[in-house]
Amino acid sequence: MTTPLAAVGAVTARRPTRVRHVVLWLTVAAYMITYMDRVVMSAAVPSIQAEFGFDIVTMGWILSAFQLSYALFQIPGGWLGDKFGPRRVLTGIVTWWSAFTALTTATWSASSMIACRFLFGMGEAGAFPNATRSLSRWMLPSERGWAQGITHAGARLGAAVTPALAVLLITSYGWRAPFIAFALLGLIWAAIWFWYYRDDPSEHASVNDAERELIEGSLGRVKVSAGAAVPWRRILTSPQMWVLSAMYFCYGYDITVFLSWFPKYLNDARGLSLTQMGIYASLPLMAGVAGDIAGGWFSDRLVERSGKINWGRRAVAVTGFLIAAAAMPFAVLAETPLASIAYFGAAVFALELTVGVSWAVPLDIGGQFAGSVSAVMNTCGNIGGTIAAALTGYIVAQSGWTPAFLLMAVLAVIAALLFTRIDASRRIDVDRSPADLV
């Protein structure tokens, strides 16, 4: 006879552990810290201008220095993760960028600040590709859209709370204080990640047989090899790789304007004080948090119910881009600040509906090399961001804020059209020939 206690133990043993969800939430925390460290600069722009006397064009170059290095080092960062594993690589790069977040406080001129932000961007460049790679052997296909949505929701939450937190610290201790505080947060995360995460679920002591079988049953029993050669030729000659990248270029341009310039827009064009700016700049980004979660969740549900991965990815992304394009002209032309912020909230919500879907696609088509695939996509996204950070300063100086936001609406329409050409069911990394490997 089996005792009740033994029966309970047997049921518990058969129930999968949820280590993969702990891994996911650690990744969410990394995304959040990533955006806190980058958005703190935009919140500090008025205070930095007041101390150093930088004009708006100079600030544009300072902001674009991060975007430039962030774009240039996406592929090297993704390659490092695919080559050496995200456990070691993410620990190293978070430590690197946290150090340069702190060192921003020691800059003394425009050129030194540009150099520091460039080096900061080198570290952050590897964050998203390696975070994507870290989930590729952990998250089930039916969880990927939601996982990417929730991680990017963490990023937007970090971006949303940063202006208010930064302004609070700036008004109390000066503009350097939030840089030091956020740098310490990154170092703490790096230590926890190295202690807990493993590149392969089979190597994690807390994963039971049921969860291991669940993961391997969905993803296959392929042993993850940190030294596997990356099929760069196949990746870089894939037509849909470049359609995906062009789409993300448009997204990267649009979201960078919100992350880099929106607080300045509220202060400059809408006449909000520093304190008001810190509060109201957070609202559209909070709407973006909801958009990230909703987009990934809806996409996974559509895939689950229809069995058609393309339908599940395209329907959500195309709808999001078109709504964002429609909302932005109303936002910039609204008469009152509150109406403008409400429309911008709708635009960011819709724009962020697309993010979980966009980042689920590299998992769908990249397999073990999702880090390198996502790195190529994010490189193009951040080339768009680099152009946005610098070009917006020039557009505003010459023509004001309205043309800057109307250009964003046009790019959102182009992104919607491009997403209709992406086929998430076609894998890039399968059936590799020796010539594909570099």
Q: Is the pLDDT of residue 433 over 50?
A: no
The whole-number average pLDDT for the span 4-17 is: 56
Whether 176 maps to a domain, the answer reads yes
Look at residue 99 in the predicted model and tell me its pLDDT: 92
Tokens of 425: 């069911």
Residue 144 burial by CB count (10 A; 0-12/13-18/19+): exposed, middle or buried? buried
Q: Which of 124-138, 251-265, 368-382 has the highest mean pLDDT?
A: 251-265
The whole-number average pLDDT for the span 266-292 is: 80
Q: Which domain holds residue 86?
A: 18-436
Look at residue 219 in the predicted model and tell me its pLDDT: 66
**Lowest mean pLDDT: which of 221-230, 267-276, 419-428?**
221-230
| pTM of the predicted model as reported, rounded to 2 decimal places | 0.69
Whether 304 maps to a domain, the answer reads yes
- Cα Rg of the chain (Å, integer): 22
Whether 11 maps to a domain, the answer reads no
Sign of the C-alpha dihedral, residues 188, 43, 70, 106?
negative
Tokens of 236: 């870089």
Whether 12 maps to a domain, the answer reads no
Average pLDDT, the chain: 82
Of 116, 102, 162, 118, give the one whose Cα is nearest residue 386: 118
Whether 2 maps to a domain, the answer reads no
Whether 4 maps to a domain, the answer reads no
Sign of the C-alpha dihedral, residues 9, 11, 13, 19?
negative
**pLDDT band, very low/low/confident/very high, at 438 (cuts 50, 70, 90):** very low
Whether 394 maps to a domain, the answer reads yes
The rounded percent of the chain whose pLDDT value lies above 90 is 23
Q: What is d(CA 272, CA 266) in angstroms, rounded to the nearest whole number?
A: 6
Look at residue 414 in the predicted model and tell me its pLDDT: 97
What is the tens place of the pLDDT at every residue in 187-219? 999 999 999 998 888 888 888 888 788 777 776
The whole-number average pLDDT for the span 166-191 is: 91
Q: Is the pLDDT of residue 6 over 50?
A: no
**pLDDT band, very low/low/confident/very high, at 19 (cuts 50, 70, 90):** confident
Look at residue 437 in the predicted model and tell me its pLDDT: 35
Tokens of 298: 């809806």
Domain count, the chain: 1
CATH number of the domain that residue 79 is part of: 1.20.1250.20
Of 372, 365, 364, 366, give the one whose Cα is nearest residue 129: 372
Q: What is d(CA 16, CA 30) in angstroms, rounded to the nearest whole number?
A: 25
Whether 5 maps to a domain, the answer reads no
Per residue in 258-284, is it b (16+ CB within 10 Å) or e — as a string? bbbbbbbbbbbebebebeebbebbbbb
What is the tens place of the pLDDT at every residue in 209-247? 887 887 777 766 555 554 567 777 888 888 888 999 999
Q: What is d(CA 360, CA 141) in angstroms, rounded to the nearest whole number?
A: 9
Whether residue 416 contacts residue 318, with contact meaning beta carbons closer than 8 Å, is answered with yes
